[in-house]
């Protein structure tokens, strides 16, 4: 499944149908209190995508695009101003294939595959520049299956690439958000510390750690909790077929324990967005999102 198919969140068609080093750095979106959001693929019509966010009644979004042209910049700026929606991060994957599975994922996702590394480093830098023009405080992506073994021959190159992107993003006054899930929290924390740039933070995807069999999101907060500056609120089941990642399910039907996750995030001082992600398309996607919104609103009120 490629990145565009995977991230059909509120696109026009779908809508119609290392802690010590980094923990002290403030985040631009922190301090407003935990608030709901959603991921949107802006497609060719950002105005329509942002209108759907407003109609859903959430104040924030993460916006996904691969188009950093002047024309898209103008459309995005107009859509943001018209809707009044806070964009907490720009999401982009870069050129080449992206297959989110155990077999092809390690060779296609992020900057881990040497074949696509240079092009994606440059793409991520352009994404950061694009976000800066829109006053968006973070760039977010899957950086790939970071090697668990720091002696892996590819590890040093991955860390160097992460350092290059993070340094550029720091120069733009932004945060670089790592999506969790394709490596253990310990591996992620090690890579962040080894890259050694204080613009690096974590986007806690509450389902991906489960889907990839890498751990439980609540336990992961013991390792990377102080680095969390963004979230993807979704749910899932652990893989029972070792050849396939687990199944994503609506929030409340999987192994992510949101009644414990939200208070734990609050305890850690997290005051950023809770960004809903439902990785299906069609009318059922929005039906599920509406129910998840109500569920999370109730938990926020109780936290």
**How far is CA 172 from each of CA 165, 169, 191, rounded to the nearest angstrom?**
11, 5, 21
What residue numbers bound the domain in which 70 lies? 3-302
182 in Cβ contact with 128 (< 8 Å)? no
**Interval 36-74: pLDDT, tens:** 999 999 999 999 999 999 999 999 999 999 999 999 999
Q: Tally the domains of the chain.
A: 1
**What's the maximum distance between 2 C-alpha atoms anywhere in the chain?**
50
- Residue among 119, 191, 117, 208 nearest 150 (CA): 191
Q: Give me 10's structure tokens.
A: 């509120």
pLDDT at 104 over 60: yes
Q: Output the CA torsion sign for 209, 215, 219, 221.
A: negative
Q: What is the CATH number of the domain that holds 102?
A: 3.20.20.150
Please state whether the predicted TM-score (pTM) of the whole model is above 0.85. Answer: yes
**Interval 19-45: pLDDT, tens:** 334 443 334 444 578 999 999 999 999
């Amino acid at each position: 499944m490629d990145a565009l198919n995977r991230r059909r969140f509120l696109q026009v068609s779908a809508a119609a149908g290392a802690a010590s080093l980094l923990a002290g750095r403030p985040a631009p979106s922190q301090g407003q209190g935990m608030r709901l959001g959603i991921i949107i693929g802006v497609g060719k019509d950002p105005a329509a995508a942002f209108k759907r966010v407003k109609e859903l009644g959430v104040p924030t979004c993460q916006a996904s695009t691969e188009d950093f042209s002047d024309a898209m910049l103008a459309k995005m700026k107009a859509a943001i101003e018209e809707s009044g929606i806070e964009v907490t991060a720009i999401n982009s994957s870069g050129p080449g294939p992206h297959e989110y599975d155990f077999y092809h994922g390690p060779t296609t996702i992020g900057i881990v595959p040497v074949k696509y590394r240079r092009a994606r480093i440059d793409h991520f830098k352009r994404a950061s520049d694009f976000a800066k023009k829109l006053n968006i405080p973070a760039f977010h992506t899957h950086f790939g299956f970071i090697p668990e073994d720091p002696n892996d021959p590819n590890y040093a190159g991955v860390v160097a690439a992460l350092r290059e992107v993070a340094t550029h993003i720091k120069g733009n006054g932004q945060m670089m958000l790592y999506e969790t899930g394709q490596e253990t929290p310990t591996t992620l924390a090690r890579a962040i510390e080894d890259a050694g740039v204080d613009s690096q933070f974590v986007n806690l995807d509450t389902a991906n750690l489960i889907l990839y069999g890498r751990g439980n999101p609540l336990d992961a907060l013991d390792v990377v909790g102080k680095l969390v500056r963004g979230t993807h609120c979704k749910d899932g089941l652990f893989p029972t077929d070792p050849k396939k990642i687990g199944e994503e399910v609506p929030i409340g039907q999987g192994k992510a324990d949101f009644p414990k996750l939200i208070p734990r995030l609050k305890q850690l001082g997290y005051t950023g967005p809770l960004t809903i992600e439902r990785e299906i398309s069609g009318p059922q996607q929005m039906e599920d999102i509406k129910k998840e919104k109500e569920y999370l609103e109730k938990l926020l009120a109780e936290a």
